A and B are shown apart, each in its own frame.
Chain A
Amino acid sequence: MNEDLIIFFSVLATAGRVLGLVLLSIVTGWLLSYGAIKGKIFENIFISISEVFESVPVISFFPVVLILFITRIGGSLGVELAADFLVFTAVVWNIWIAEYQAFKTIPREMVEVGENYRLGFFSILRNIYIPFSIPRIVANLFPSISDGFFYITVSEVFTIGITTYQTFGIGTEMQALISAGNTNGILLAFVFLALVIMIIIYFLRTFSKHAVAKYTVDTDTPVIRRGRFSFKNTTRRISATAATPFTRLSKYYRRRNPSMKNEMFEPERAGVNYSRYILATIGLVILAIILYSSTLLVLSVSAGEWSNLLALTPQIIIGLLYDYSRVAVVIAVTFVISITLGYYLAVNSRAESVGVPLIQVLTAFPAPVYFPFVYIAFYPDFHSVFGPLTSEFFVIALAFISTFYYLFYSFWMGVKAMPSEYQELMKNLNMGFFSKMRRVIIPSTFPYLIAGISSTINSTWGGLMIGEYWPSIYGSRTLEVSNGLMRFIDINTRSGNLGAAAWASFVFGIVVVVFSIFFTRRMMDLARKRYVAEEGVFAA
Chain B
Amino acid sequence: MRNPANLVGGVGPGQPISLLESVNIHFSYENGYKVFENINISVGQDKFVGIVGPSGIGKSTLLRIMGGFLAPDSGATYLMGKKITKPTPKVVFVHQSIITFPWMTALENVMLSPRSMKVPQSEAEIVAMKALEDVGLQGFEELYPKEMSGGMRQRVAIARALAANPMVLLMDEPFSHLDELTAEGLRQDIYNILFRVDTPLKGVVLVSHNLTEVLELADEIYILNNIPATVVGKLVVDIPRPRSIRNPKFSEYLDILYTKLSPPGGKKNE
Interchain CB contact under 8 A, B113 and A424: no
A532 CB-CB contact with B under 8 Å: yes
State which residues 118-151 of B face A: CB under 8 Å: 145-146, 150
**Complex Cα spacing A266 to B145, Å:** 39
Report if A429-B112 is in contact (Cβ < 8 Å); known contacts: A421-B95, A531-B103, A537-B97.
yes
Q: Are A537 and B99 in contact (CB under 8 A)?
A: yes
How many whole Å from A423's CB to the nearest CB in chain B?
Answer: 9
Q: Would you call A498 an interface residue if the criterion is a C-beta within 8 Å of the partner chain's C-beta atoms? A: no
Chain A 515-540, CB-CB to B under 8 Å as 1, else 0, gives 00000000000000011110111111
Q: Is the CB of B103 within 8 A of A530?
A: yes
Interchain CA distance A252-B192 in the complex, whole Å = 40
Residue of B60, B89, B99 touching A228 (CB-CB under 8 A): B60
B98 at the interface (CB under 8 A from A): yes
Q: Given A227-B58, A227-B61: A430 and B88 within 8 A (CB)? A: yes
Chain B residues within 8 Å of A421, by CB: 95, 97, 99
A429 touches B117 (CB 8 A): yes
Known contacts A225-B56, A226-B56; decide if A424 and B116 are in contact (CB<8 Å): no
The answer to whether the Cβ of B232 comes within 8 Å of any Cβ in the partner chain is: no
Which of A227, A228, A230, A533 contacts B102, CB < 8 Å?
Answer: A533
Give, as a whole number of angstroms, the nearest-CB distance from B30 to chain A: 7
Q: Which of A22-30, A182-190, A276-284, A435-443 contacts B (4 or more CB under 8 A)?
A: A435-443
Bound form: Cα–Cα A533–B146 in Å:
11
How many A-B residue pairs have C-beta atoms within 8 angstroms? Tell me.
105
- A229 at interface, CB cutoff 8 A: yes
Chain B residues with Cβ under 8 A from A444's Cβ?
Answer: 101, 103
**Taking A227-B61, A230-B30, A535-B146 as contacts, is the C-beta distance between A428 and B97 under 8 angstroms?**
no
Which residues of A (211-230) have their CB < 8 Å from a CB of B? 225-230
A39 at interface by CB-CB < 8 Å: no
The residue of chain B having its C-beta at the shortest distance from the C-beta of A535 within the complex is B102
Nearest residue in B to A230 (C-beta to C-beta)?
B29
- Whose C-beta in chain A lies nearest to the C-beta of B148? A538
Interface residues of B in 154-175 (CB under 8 A from A): 154, 164
Nearest CB in chain A: distance from B150 CB, A: 5
Closest to B103 in A: A443
A422 to B93, alpha carbons, bound, how many Å?
11
Interface size on B, residues (CB 8 A): 44
Tell me the smallest distance from the CB of A516 to a CB of chain B, in Å.
24
With A229-B60, A229-B64, A536-B145: A431-B116 Cβ-Cβ less than 8 Å: yes
Is A535 a contact partner of B145 (Cβ separation < 8 A)? Answer: yes
User: When chains A and B are docked, how far (Å) is the Cα of A428 from the Cα of B88?
Assistant: 5
User: With A424-B93, A429-B117, A538-B177 known to touch, is A531 a contact of B88 (CB < 8 Å)?
Assistant: no
* B70 and A229 contacting across the interface, CB-CB below 8 Å: yes
Q: Across the interface, do A540 and B35 meet the contact criterion of CB distance under 8 Å?
A: no
Bound state CA distance, A537 and B146, in angstroms?
Answer: 10
Among residues of B, the one whose C-beta sits closest to the C-beta of A227 is B56
Asked whether any CB of chain B lies closer than 8 Å to the CB of A419, the reply is yes
CA distance A443 to B104 in the complex (A): 10
Q: What does the 1/0 interface line of B54-95 toward A look like (CB < 8 Å)?
A: 001110110010010110000000000000001111011101
Given contacts A228-B60, A535-B145, A536-B99, contact A428 B150 (CB under 8 A): no
B33 at the A interface (CB under 8 A): yes
Interface residues of A in 225-268 (CB under 8 A from B): 225-230
CA of A228 to CA of B58, assembled, Å: 6
The smallest beta-carbon distance between B190 and chain A, in angstroms, is 17
B153 at the interface (CB under 8 A from A): yes
Which residues does chain A contribute within 8 Å of B154, judged by CB atoms?
538
CB-contact partner of A430 in B58, B87, B96, under 8 A? B87
Verify B69–A424 contact, CB threshold 8 A: yes
* Residue of chain A at shortest CB distance from B57: A227
Q: Say whether B11 faces chain A, with CB atoms less than 8 Å apart.
A: no
Q: Within 8 Å CB of A429, what residues of B?
A: 89, 92, 112-113, 116-117, 164
Instruction: Output the least CB separation between B200 and chain A (Å).
Output: 16
Contact with B along A430-458 (1 / 0, CB 8 A): 11100100011001101000000000000
Cβ–Cβ contact B97 & A430, under 8 A: no
| Cβ of A425 under 8 Å from chain B | yes
Q: Give the shortest distance, in Å, between A209 (CB) and chain B (any CB).
A: 16
CB-CB < 8 A to A210: which residues of B? none
Task: State whether B102 touches A531 (Cβ < 8 A).
Answer: yes
Residues of A within 8 A of B256 (CB): none
For B89, the chain A residues whose CB sits under 8 A away are 428-430
Enumerate chain B residues within 8 angstroms of A425, measured Cβ to Cβ: 93, 95, 99
Contact B98–A539 (Cβ < 8 Å): yes
Taken together as a complex, chains A and B put the C-alpha atoms of A539 and B95 apart, in Å, by 10
Q: Which residues of A contact B96 (CB under 8 A)?
A: 539
Which B residues are in CB contact (< 8 Å) with A531? 102-103
A424 to B91, CA, bound (A): 12
Please tell me if the beta carbons of B97 and A538 are within 8 angstroms of each other in the complex: yes
- Enumerate chain B residues within 8 angstroms of A532, measured Cβ to Cβ: 102
**Residues of chain A lying within 8 A (CB to CB) of residue B30:** 230
Could you tell me the distance between the alpha carbons of A446 and B102 in the complex, rounded to whole angstroms?
12
- Cα distance, A428 to B168, chains bound together (Å): 12
Closest A residue to B63 by CB, please name it: A229
Chain A residues with Cβ below 8 Å from B57 are: 227
Cβ-defined partner of A537 (8 Å) among B70, B87, B98, B104: B98
Q: How far is the CA of A439 from the CA of B160 in the complex (A)?
A: 14
Complex-state Cα separation, A226 to B116, whole angstroms: 34
Chain B residues with Cβ below 8 Å from A226 are 33, 56
User: Chain A residue with minimal CB distance to B161?
Assistant: A428
Does B47 have its Cβ within 8 Å of any Cβ on chain A? no
Cβ of A428 and Cβ of B93 under 8 Å apart? yes
Chain B residue at minimum C-beta to C-beta distance from A526: B103
CB-CB under 8 A from A428, the residues of chain B are: 67, 69, 87-89, 91-93, 164
Residues of chain B within 8 A of A440, CB atoms compared:
101
Residues from chain B with Cβ under 8 Å of A126 in the complex: none
Query: Counting CB contacts under 8 A, is A427 at the interface?
Result: yes
Q: What residues on A are CB-neighbors of B178 within 8 Å? A: 540
Q: How far is the CA of A500 from the CA of B96 in the complex (A)?
A: 62
Instruction: Write the chain A residue with the least CB distance to B111.
Output: A439
Write 17 A-B pairs (CB below 8 A) sorted by A numbering.
A227-B56, A227-B61, A419-B99, A424-B87, A428-B88, A428-B92, A429-B92, A429-B116, A430-B89, A431-B116, A444-B101, A530-B102, A532-B102, A536-B99, A538-B145, A540-B150, A540-B178
- Given A225-B56, A424-B95, A539-B97; 19 other pairs, CB 8 A cutoff: A226-B33, A227-B57, A227-B61, A228-B60, A419-B97, A421-B95, A422-B99, A428-B87, A428-B88, A428-B93, A429-B89, A439-B112, A440-B101, A444-B101, A535-B146, A536-B145, A538-B100, A539-B98, A540-B150
Residues of B within 8 A of A (CB): 29-30, 33, 35, 56-58, 60-61, 64, 67, 69-70, 86-89, 91-93, 95-104, 112-113, 115-117, 145-146, 150, 153-154, 164, 177-179
Give 7 closest A-B pairs by Cβ, nearest first: A538-B98, A227-B56, A429-B116, A539-B97, A427-B87, A540-B177, A536-B102
